[in-house]
Every structure is written in C-alpha cells, then in structure tokens.
Amino acid sequence: MKRELLTSSIIRHVKDKPSLKPKKIIDEMKRDYGVTINYYYARGGFYPLAFAVVATTENDENWEWFLQNLKEVVSLQRPITFISDMHNSLLNFVPAVFPNSSHGYCFWHLKLNLRATIKGRSRNRKFIEGLFKECAYAYTIREFDEKYNDLMVGSKDNKQDVLDFLSRVPFEHWANAHFPGSRYGDMCSSIAESFNSWVGEERFLPITSMIDRIQNKLKERIDAGKTWQPPIKSREDLFEVHSISTNIVNLGRFSCTCGRWRVEGIPCVHALRCIIADGRPIQNFIDPMFSVLYYCQSYSHNIPPVDVDIGDLTAAHEEVVIPPEVRNQPGRPKTNRFPISGFVQQKGRFRSKICMTSAEWSEMTAKNLFDS
C-alpha cells in the first residue's frame, strides 16, 4: 500500500472521528485494508513540549501552575495558539498567562456539546451538525456568513437551542474565518489524545518510573529527528535527499528516484526541497503543459465552418430509411452498467441487529461449516 494512500486514509479516519486514538486507527486499518501500520503513522506526528503529573483532578490551581511554568520555556516572541476542550480553568488562565495568544476550541467537543443541546429527532441533530461544521471550516467572512445563514434556516425547528449554544462560544474561538491567529490545520485536540495513548502503559507506573519511561520515549523521538538533514548537493543539479527514504534528485533532468515527478509533471516533495534550498524559482521546474500560455494556445484556434454547396444536395423522396424493429425484452429494463471483466463487487458482511456482532456471526458460521 503506497504511503500517500495510507496517509490519506488515516487523515480521513481522523477527520470523521477526531477523538480516534492511534491504537484504534491501527485496528481499523488492519480490519478494512488488511495492512499493519507503524505507530508512527497512526499518531500523525506530534512534538511533546511539556507534560506534568498532578496528584489531584484538573482544577484552577493545577492549570495555573502548569501554564506559568510553560511560560518560562516558551518564547513569547512568536504567536502561540492553544486548542483545548474548553475546560473552565483553561478558559480563565490561558488569556491571563498568555494574553497575546489565540485560543481555539476543539471542534469535536463543540459538536458533542451542540448535539446534547439540540432537542428533538436525531436526524435533525446530524443535519444541524453538518451545517455547523461548514461554518467552522469556512475560511472567509463572506463564506462564513453564507454558511451561518444556512445554519439558521436549516435549524428553524431548533433555532433557539442553536442560538443558546452559540451564545456560549464566541465565533473567534471556533470559526476559521473569525479566528485571530493560525490553527495550523488542527481543528481538534485529538493530538492530546494521541499523546495519552502513546504513554498509555507508562501512565499506570509509579511516578518516578513513569517520568523516566516517558523521558526515554521523548529522547528516542528527538534522536530520530536529528537524523533528518537538508538536501546534500553533489554537483550543480544533483541532490541527495534524506527523509524516511533516500532519494536522488536531478533538477537538470527533471527527475527524482521516487518517480512521482516524471509521472505527474509537477515536482515531488523531494524536488521541491532541493529547488527551495538552491534558491531557484519553482515555476521553472513545472511541465509547461500546466502553464497559462499553453492553456491559451489550446483555445486560440477557431473551428472553421463546413463549406457545403446547397445545389449538390438532392432530396431522396423515394428512399425512406426505416428504423429497425426492436423487440422489448420482458421484465424491468436494466439501468446498471455491465461489469468490467475481472471486477469483483465487494459485499458488506451481514450484521445481526438482534443478538450478535459481525465477528460473532462469522465465527458461528465457520463453526457450523466445519461441524457439518
């Protein structure tokens, strides 16, 4: 399975279920595609900056202590974005300790809160949740206003419930169009769940052993990050790029050993890294078929009219073309396309809604076959 397809599948899983944990992703990829993926892909990549061990539950005192210590190691010279589950302590102390930061609310938690607020049928909840998602992901004010108007119109039966919910969550904390900072593509706090799952076994150890084990895990990630190097320039157009695999890029021949540049006509990520590092314009390495000039030249020609002499046309009154006789076949006309040779349609597994899951049904069926 190609790495690009694997990555897109995982992104789709996380987008549909932002609270999905890495171990669950691994199980679903194994079940749906029959592949066993590395934990590196499942956790999506994150950089743990700080963690703390508290003896009691999350409260104002603990969160204020954590944020004050975090402030000592984080540079305030660059914009900082927090994404949280809207814990009351965070709502109070994030703007107090980091007054110039941006605080985004986790979309997954917002959707759950909206679902709990709406009264009525579940179908209305799902429809309103979809409209709310479009509002959250809109990037411009104009697009947001259109989606917000759709939300108000679409939730007319539950409009007061939606307005009560929105009155508690200002636009600048959940809508991309009104967000004052940058969310860097993260709409949910699922990365925190990934960290919790990553240290799932260590969390049940004694405090000293737990911290020691987590420290060793972090050190392994840091050591792995040190192996990444900028592209090595061998000669004028030849580069060697080290990432998960090693690839050779030849800018003069528009080629990379990964093969993607040759097939698509657009520089791959390895080539782009070399082009940027060498300070060259990227557009010079894109196939000219993608240029505006070639596009305009494709439509620069006119279609000449057909020159026909009317005098040469003779009406054949005696020759009448009769359509062939078609005999209607019995039964309902077929509307599906004829299957392609070799195509096998996948059928979903039977799932009993009464007494058993699909796995239990398969186990029972297999047992009956062997017994018989």
Q: Are residues 98 and 155 in the same domain?
A: yes
Q: Which of 154, 188, 222 is the last residue of a domain?
A: 188
Domain assignment present for 184: yes
Q: What is the pLDDT of residue 125?
A: 85
Q: What is the pLDDT of residue 370?
A: 47
CB atoms under 10 Å from CB of 169, counted, come to 15
pLDDT tops 80 at residue 7: no
Domain assignment present for 43: no
Percent of the residues in the chain that have a pLDDT greater than 70, as a whole number: 72
Q: Are residues 30 and 95 in the same domain?
A: no
- pLDDT tens-place string over residues 153-201: 988 888 899 999 999 999 999 999 999 988 887 888 877 877 888 888 8
Q: Which two tokens stand for residue 144?
A: 């947001």
Sheet containing 246-250, strands listed edge to edge, beginning at the edge strand earlier in sequence: 232-233, 238-242, 246-250, 255-256
- Report the alpha-carbon angle 139-140-144, nearest 5: 90
Q: Are residues 69 and 172 in the same domain?
A: yes
Domain assignment present for 221: no
- pLDDT tens-place string over residues 136-156: 999 999 999 999 999 999 888
Domain enclosing residue 118, as ranges = 60-188
Q: Are residues 29 and 79 in the same domain?
A: no
pLDDT tops 50 at residue 69: yes
Q: What is the pLDDT of residue 185?
A: 79
Q: What is the pLDDT of residue 229?
A: 74
Domain assignment present for 352: no
- Mean pLDDT is lowest, of 82-91, 221-230, 333-342, 362-371, for 362-371
Report the pLDDT averaged over residues 64-87: 87
Q: Please give the Cα distance from 130 to 126 (Å, whole number).
A: 6
Q: How does residue 42 score in pLDDT terms, banded at 50, 70 and 90?
A: very low
Q: What is the pLDDT of residue 52?
A: 82
Q: What is the pLDDT of residue 173?
A: 93
pLDDT tops 70 at residue 44: no
Total residues found in the chain within this entry: 372
Residue 114: which residues within 8 A CB-CB, separation 6 or more? 128, 129, 132, 162, 165
Question: What does 54-90 look like in DSSP terms, one character per residue?
Answer: -SS-S-HHHHHHHHHHHHHHS-TTS--EEEE---HHH
Mapped onto helix, strand or coil, the DSSP state of residue 216 is helix
Domain assignment present for 225: no
Residue type, 354: I
Domain count, the chain: 3
Q: Which two tokens stand for residue 115?
A: 């679902």
Question: What does 261-318 look like in DSSP terms, one character per residue?
Answer: HHHHSS--HHHHHHHHHTT--GGGGS-GGGSHHHHHHHT-S--PPP---GGG----SS
Q: Are residues 24 and 72 in the same domain?
A: no
Q: Please give the Cα distance from 266 to 284 (Å, whole number).
A: 10
Residues β-bridged to residue 250: 238, 255
Mapped onto helix, strand or coil, the DSSP state of residue 95 is helix
Q: What is the pLDDT of residue 41?
A: 45
DSSP 203: G
Q: Are residues 167 and 241 in the same domain?
A: no
pLDDT tops 70 at residue 6: no
CB atoms under 10 Å from CB of 73, counted, come to 8
Q: Are residues 31 and 122 in the same domain?
A: no
Q: Are 14 and 43 in contact (CB under 8 A)?
A: no
Mapped onto helix, strand or coil, the DSSP state of residue 156 is helix
Q: Are residues 240 and 154 in the same domain?
A: no
- pLDDT tens-place string over residues 252-264: 999 999 898 988 8
Q: Which two tokens stand for residue 243?
A: 């990432």
- pLDDT tens-place string over residues 50-61: 888 876 778 888
Q: Please give the Cα distance from 74 to 82 (Å, whole number).
A: 13
Q: What is the pLDDT of residue 126?
A: 87
Q: Which helix (H) or strand (E) holds 127?
A: helix 122-137
Report the pLDDT averaged over residues 88-107: 91
Within 13 Å of residue 78, how many CA atoms lie on the same side as its CB? 5
Q: What is the pLDDT of residue 40?
A: 44
What does residue 9 show for φ and ψ, rounded to 5 degrees?
A: -65, -40
Domain assignment present for 367: no
Looking at every residue in the chain, the average pLDDT score rounds to 79
CB-based burial of residue 156 (10 Å sphere; 0-12 exposed, 13-18 middle, 19+ buried)?
Answer: exposed
Domain assignment present for 299: no
Q: Are residues 248 and 165 in the same domain?
A: no
Report the pLDDT averaged over residues 92-120: 90
Q: Are 131 and 146 in contact (CB under 8 A)?
A: no
Q: What is the pLDDT of residue 145?
A: 95
Q: Are residues 86 and 164 in the same domain?
A: yes
Q: Are residues 161 and 241 in the same domain?
A: no
Report the pLDDT averaged over residues 119-126: 77
Q: Are residues 169 and 254 in the same domain?
A: no
Q: Which two tokens stand for residue 198?
A: 């990553």
Q: What is the pLDDT of residue 1?
A: 43
Q: What is the pLDDT of residue 207?
A: 86
Q: How does residue 2 score in pLDDT terms, banded at 50, 70 and 90?
A: very low
Domain assignment present for 302: no
Beta strands in the chain (DSSP E): 81-84, 102-105, 232-233, 238-242, 246-250, 255-256
- pLDDT tens-place string over residues 277-336: 999 999 899 998 888 888 898 888 888 887 776 666 665 556 677 888 888 888 887 777
